[in-house]
Structure 1
Amino acid sequence: MKHFWKKTLWAALLTAAFALSATGCGNDSQTSSSTANSADSAAQTEESSAAPAENGGAADAADTNVFTYEMRDDGTVTITGYQGAETALDIPSTVDNYVVSAIADHAFEANWDITSVTLPSGLSEIGEGAFMDCGNLTSVTIPDTVAQIDRAAFAGCSSLASLSLPETVSTIMEEAFTGCAGLTDLTVANASLEYDSWGLVEGSEPLNVTITCPAGSAIETWAAANGISTKTLE
């Protein structure tokens, strides 16, 4: 009877020990699983926060607008400066959905990095000294919406070889081309546009430039009187 009681007690103790051991393993497994899930969640969060930079989100936002501007009374804007690194400059027709109608005074002055400029359709005015002393500027494309080129707009652009002024240009102020020693080909499409100290004659000597213009135009008459050769605009 005593032996039977001892065996029964021993079996009960073994059963309890086994149950406790199994419960402990289960808790370890759950803890391990919970830790793994937390690590996975943290990794996913880190990947998610990095995604915008990889997809060209906010990290690139600073590079989308390299032009500074000012609002005009008519709701258009004047470009006042450039903060980019392009040397062949293509100025947009709109900035932040505003139409670009003018280049401000001295906006690109002394920018020796610029080699060419394409101005946008819709532009009406090129400001005073806008491209003054851009010594490496070799070409400028002016659209047929520009009406006015202000004083010394291209003064000192010594590498500028050719320039075409569309018929819409009705005003060119003094010294617009002073110091443009490399200018050899100038087209003036407006037959009534009169020369007014643009800088094509420095001292007593004219630049070595040929002006292409309409036959009988005001600029042709002036060129003939000042020893500058002309070609008839077809």
Structure 2
Amino acid sequence: MKQFWKKALWAALLTAAFAVTAAGCGNDTSSSSSADSTTAAESSAAAGGDTAPETNVFNYQMNDDGTVSITGYNGTDTDLNIPATLDNYVVSAIADHAFEANWDLTNVTLPNGLTEIGESAFMDCGSLTTINIPETVAQIDRAAFAGCSALTSLTLPEAVSTVLEEAFTGCASLTSLTVANPSLAYDRWGLVEGSAPLAVTITCPAGSAIETWANANGIATQPLS
């Protein structure tokens, strides 16, 4: 009888020990899952989630004034929103040839604070249909948009005081150009190729330098309201 009681007690103790061990394993699994979830959430927050701008795809160089110029792009976006800052530095320029021959680009939004668009910066971006020029841009360099054959319209804000030669050479689809600066004079931009002007209408202030040039070269104008 004593032997039977001892066996029964031993079996009960083993059963209890197994139950405690199983319960402990369950708690460990739950804790591990929670930690993994927190880590994933923290990683997502650190990365900014899906809405954070991806700035590490831009190459840039430092300028003497502490701003930066974008020198290249390694991303795959076709509708590209260029950030106003990179690593907390203000983006003040698009450097020469920075986006040249990027056939994937279809739309580009440039940031406020930008002051210059460099030589051939968007040259031969053959799929580019729209690009904004922010109010802060003062200079557009030689051949900046040459060969952008799909570009249909463009607005040059009043701050733009310099547009160098061949800026729009090969922009055969350009039908609408707004020039807000009354003093901005035409300088071989490429709106006249050979003996024939592009089929473009220039919207500009009455009596402006560009209106005078357009009227003398058979290019239609309309007043800037």
Tell me the TM-score normalised to structure 1 length.
0.82
Contact 1:69 1:79 in 2 (8 A): yes
Deviation at 1:186, TM superposition (A): 0.9
Contact 1:185 1:211 in 2 (8 A): yes
Residues 198-217 of structure 1: CA distance to partner in whole angstroms, max 9, x if unpaired?
A: 11111222111121222222
Contact 2:121 2:145 in 1 (8 A): yes
Specify which of 5, 18, 27 is matched with residue 40 of structure 1. Answer: 27
Contact 1:106 1:130 in 2 (8 A): yes
Name the residue aligned to 2:2. 15
Contact 1:69 1:77 in 2 (8 A): no
Residues 183-203 of structure 1: CA distance to partner in whole angstroms, max 9, x if unpaired?
A: 111111112212221111112
Specify which of 100, 105, 109 is matched with residue 109 of structure 1. Answer: 100
Rounded Cα–Cα distance in structure 2 between residues aligned with 1:106 and 1:51: 44
User: Structure 1 stretch 170-179 or stretch 76-85: which is displaced more?
Assistant: 76-85
Name the residue aligned to 1:120. 111
The change in CA–CA distance for 1:61 and 1:106 in structure 2 (over 3 A counts) is farther
Q: Does 1:77 align with 2:77?
A: no
Specify which of 90, 96, 100 is matched with residue 91 of structure 2. Answer: 100
Query: Which amino acid in structure 1 is aligned with residue 44 of structure 2?
Result: G
Query: Which amino acid in structure 1 is aligned with residue 166 of structure 2?
Result: E
Name the residue aligned to 1:154. 145
Query: Which amino acid in structure 2 is aligned with residue 134 of structure 1?
Result: C
Rounded Cα–Cα distance in structure 1 between residues aligned with 2:160 and 2:123: 19
Specify which of 5, 9, 13 is matched with residue 26 of structure 1. Answer: 13
Rounded Cα–Cα distance in structure 2 between residues aligned with 1:174 and 1:24: 96
3-state secondary structure, aligned to 1:57: helix
3-state secondary structure, aligned to 1:186: strand
Q: Percent identity?
A: 60
Rounded Cα–Cα distance in structure 1 between residues aligned with 2:222 and 2:39: 58
Rounded Cα–Cα distance in structure 1 between residues aligned with 2:80 and 2:88: 19
The change in CA–CA distance for 1:58 and 1:189 in structure 2 (over 3 A counts) is closer
Larger Rg: 1
Deviation at 1:182, TM superposition (A): 0.7
Specify which of 85, 91, 107 is matched with residue 82 of structure 2. Answer: 91
Name the residue aligned to 2:40. 53
Rounded Cα–Cα distance in structure 2 between residues aligned with 1:199 and 1:52: 56
Query: Which amino acid in structure 2 is aligned with residue 169 of structure 1?
Result: V
Residues 67-93 of structure 1: CA distance to partner in whole angstroms, max 9, x if unpaired?
A: 414232322222233344433322222
- Report how many aligned residue pairs link the two structures: 221
Deviation at 1:143, TM superposition (A): 1.2
Could you say what the CA RMSD is over the residues aligned between the two structures, in angstroms? 2.6
Tell me the TM-score normalised to structure 2 length.
0.85
Query: Which amino acid in structure 1 is aligned with residue 31 of structure 2?
Result: Q
Contact 1:52 1:59 in 2 (8 A): no
Rounded Cα–Cα distance in structure 2 between residues aligned with 1:89 and 1:142: 14
